[in-house]
Copies of this chain bind each other. A is one copy, B any other.
Amino acid sequence: MKVMRDPVHGHVELDELAVSLMDTPRMQRLRRIRQLGLSNLVYPGANHTRFEHSLGAHHLATTLAGEIDSVQQSEIDELRVAAMLHDIGHGPLSHVTEGIIKKYTRREHEDVKHLLRKGDIAEICSETGLNISRIANHILGKTSLGQIINSEIDVDRMDYLIRDAHYTGVAYGLVDHSRLIHKMQFYEDKLVVTEGGLNAAESLLVSRFLMHPSVYFHHVTRISETMLIRGIEYLVEREKLDPSSLQDMDDYRLFETMRQDDGYAGEMINRIDERKLYKRALYVGFDDVDEKVLGYRKSIQRVEKEIAEEAGIDEKKILIDIPKLPRIEEMKALIKVNGKKMTLDKASHLVATLEKAHRDNWKLGVYTPREHREKVKKIANDFFEVKKHTLQYKLTDIEEDISGSN
């Protein structure tokens, strides 16, 4: 038994199996991959990594699995391996490179069977007699037990919500995870929250809801991450970066690779290094535009070009950000009430209403260097047919008081 110090969970115990996994190069790489991408440009304390998150998920999975009867130790071990390794498929800056990896390699970050079959990890599994296919399926959430680490309400979410709140310093993210874990069990082959855990589950969902605008969708993060993604794509298109290598890289190498470029990618990383970011020319909510704008998600580059031409500037100076409509998957987590399973939104009025309220967090953004802001604003406003009244309260929320004159 070894013990690690974790600022979130305190003492975290690790047995021999966990230590051997942790000591593989593939896990060690996660020490150099930021959990929250470029959120540290908004919250200077948000430098935590996928490594500590993986330890945290492993810790919670071990705790939760320990409360389930009638599971064999080898099954628990496979689940614990899955919890520890669930993020090894991430590229630099976590979710930031997720889309690019998927675009070019067709792999989701949870799809890691090919990584499990290599090197030290394969060896450890073979020595301990653990089944790699089952582990891979746990990570994909395709097994019953795997619901613990990948389902609507899993230890992955619990850990990152608490951890992100801790390192950003955003107080309201506090989730009562020990109660929640204590109140979860398997019922008819499904992982369910039992009645006594309803409040804790509600608080998890609310926490996620409140973290959204302040952290996950903060416009400065959206802008800088969009800039970075475009820089990477620029390199990939010019064959200066092999997208299939991203899953082996860390943040350090990505930054340095981009810095070597003397074109657009170099400009983007330089702007990020010095925090001289594009600014918002347009930033409006779902009620401010027609629903059809979602249709532009597939032809963003064309729209950027169109607006750029009308503004008479280089198309690379326009970045358009149209997110998917945010969903709260946790709403569909199961709760057991009076012996019956139902989804959380059926059992709680509060949860039921969150999805609708969650639309407030969706924003369409058009970003451009400061000097083109005014010009682009007008053109983009017309292009997306932004409604007149537009209640812009969410627009300025927090924005004005976070570093960087963005």
Contact = CB atoms under 8 A, between A and B. Distances in A.
A195 interface: yes
Contacts of A2: 400-403
A166 B7 contact: yes
Interface string A364-388: 0000000000000000000000000
A326 interface: no
A388 to B, nearest CB: 12
Interface stretch (A73-81, A143-151, A304-312, A354-362): A354-362
Interface residues of A, number: 93
Q: How many copies does the complex hold?
A: 4
A349 B353 CA distance: 8
A289 interface: no
Contact of A403 (B4, B169, B253): B4
A135 interface: no
A283 interface: no
Contacts of A195: 393, 395-397
A354 B350 contact: yes
A184 B104 CA distance: 49
A296 interface: no
A10 B182 CA distance: 12
Nearest to A349: B357
Given A5-B43, A6-B44, 10 more contacts: A5-B168, A5-B170, A11-B182, A171-B175, A172-B203, A174-B174, A196-B397, A252-B256, A253-B256, A349-B359
17 contacts: A2-B401, A2-B403, A3-B179, A4-B44, A7-B166, A7-B168, A23-B403, A25-B273, A28-B273, A29-B273, A170-B176, A199-B213, A203-B210, A252-B255, A337-B392, A353-B353, A353-B354
Interface of A: 1-8, 10-11, 14, 19, 22-23, 25, 28-29, 31-32, 40-41, 43-45, 47-49, 51-52, 55, 166-172, 174-176, 178-179, 182, 195-196, 198-199, 202-203, 206-207, 209-210, 213-214, 251-253, 255-256, 259, 273-275, 335, 337-338, 347-350, 352-354, 356-357, 359-360, 391-405
